[in-house]
Copies of this chain bind each other. A is one copy, B any other.
Amino acid sequence: MPAQVRSDDVYPSRVDGESRFLPRRDPVIYGTSGPLSPVQIAQYERAGYLFLPEFLAQDEVTPLQQEALRLRADPAITALEETIREPGSDTIRSVFRVHELSPLVAKLVRNGRVLAIVQQLLGGDVYVHQSRVNYKPAFRGREFYWHSDFETWHIEDGLPRMRALSLAVNLTDNDAFNGPLMVVPESHRTYVSCVGETPADHYKQSLRVQKYGVPDDDSLRRLVEYGGIAAPTGPAGSILLFDCNLMHGSGSNLSPKPRTNLFVVYNSVNNAAVEPFGNIPRRPSFIASQHFDPVQPE
């Protein structure tokens, strides 16, 4: 039986056998002032992302690199459900909820320079909906298929509107060959409703290889024909800010250089999670936080 669409839902998905393009009903920029220049704001609004090379200094990023390696090696961490492995192997792919597991990451989340930008884009107080380190090991790191985070966060986690963003921090250099994050510029202005229903406990599978809540081939082709593909690469310490509805993914890593990125998802406190719009049980709190207290600058 197809899921029932909530009458108040402007972003339905997974309700029938067809994918649809729906217009975005929300602003991209919510704030009025802050550290980003008008040119940067215009870039983010138009393209859906902003790349700031070497935003963190070497002495800020080195401890975070070491922390990422420590988390992956700590048996107390790897025993948790927060630790996700690669499909078909025991190699660690991601560790979630790192903003609560690691004091160093918690400190970065509250970093005044970061927070001022996030608050400018989202308009005021924010909380952390999700955080994770994605490890893409050298030689055999696997891809993350194209997806819009918002579709999943709306349907599975209950984020009502598009008022969230991801901060991706390069903990290693990202180059053309180690599976850098790729985005489809301007795709954030279209909501792609996805095909089909959501199986129970889908998240356990989807964190390794996502099968539901991914766009169909034709939708992706149309988005890429319109906006192309960009892969903003840069050295460790570079950051990428991208809208919650921007289509993104990343390829496999065959190179000898691991690619490790830290992701922090900030959501406006005015957009806190409600019941999931897919009429399914909400995902566990290590993926979709239930702590809506505003992040305070350090």
Instruction: Give A contacts to B, CB under 8 Å.
Output: 138-139, 143, 145-146, 176-177, 179, 182, 217, 220-221, 224-225, 229, 231, 249-252, 254-256
For residue A252, which residues in chain B have a CB less than 8 angstroms away from its CB?
143, 251-252
Give Cα A182 to B256, complex, Å.
13
> Beyond A138-B221, A145-B254, A177-B229: 6 further Cβ-contacts under 8 Å?
A143-B252, A146-B254, A177-B251, A225-B256, A249-B254, A251-B251
B139 touches A217 (CB 8 A): yes
A224 touches B182 (CB 8 A): no
Q: In the complex, what residue of chain B is closest to A176 when comparing beta carbons?
A: B176
B254 touches A182 (CB 8 A): yes
Give Cα A237 to B250, complex, Å.
28
For residue A179, which residues in chain B have a CB less than 8 angstroms away from its CB?
251
Q: In the complex, what residue of chain B is closest to A229 when comparing beta carbons?
A: B177
| A89: min CB distance to chain B, Å | 14
Give Cα A122 to B138, complex, Å.
35
A224 touches B143 (CB 8 A): no
For residue A138, which residues in chain B have a CB less than 8 angstroms away from its CB?
217, 221
For residue A254, which residues in chain B have a CB less than 8 angstroms away from its CB?
143, 145-146, 182, 249-251
Report if A217-B256 is in contact (Cβ < 8 Å); known contacts: A176-B176, A182-B177: yes
What are 19 pairs between A and B in contact, CB < 8 Å? A138-B217, A138-B221, A139-B217, A143-B252, A143-B254, A145-B254, A176-B231, A177-B182, A177-B229, A179-B251, A182-B254, A221-B256, A224-B255, A224-B256, A229-B255, A249-B254, A251-B252, A251-B254, A252-B252
For residue A146, which residues in chain B have a CB less than 8 angstroms away from its CB?
254
| A248: min CB distance to chain B, Å | 11
Top 8 nearest A-B pairs (CB, nearest first) are: A221-B256, A252-B252, A224-B256, A177-B229, A251-B251, A251-B252, A143-B252, A251-B254
Give Cα A225 to B256, complex, Å.
9
For residue A176, which residues in chain B have a CB less than 8 angstroms away from its CB?
176, 231
For residue A143, which residues in chain B have a CB less than 8 angstroms away from its CB?
252, 254
| A171: min CB distance to chain B, Å | 19
Give Cα A4 to B226, complex, Å.
58
Q: In the complex, what residue of chain B is closest to A249 when comparing beta carbons?
A: B254
Give Cα A197 to B217, complex, Å.
41
B231 touches A177 (CB 8 A): yes
For residue A250, which residues in chain B have a CB less than 8 angstroms away from its CB?
254
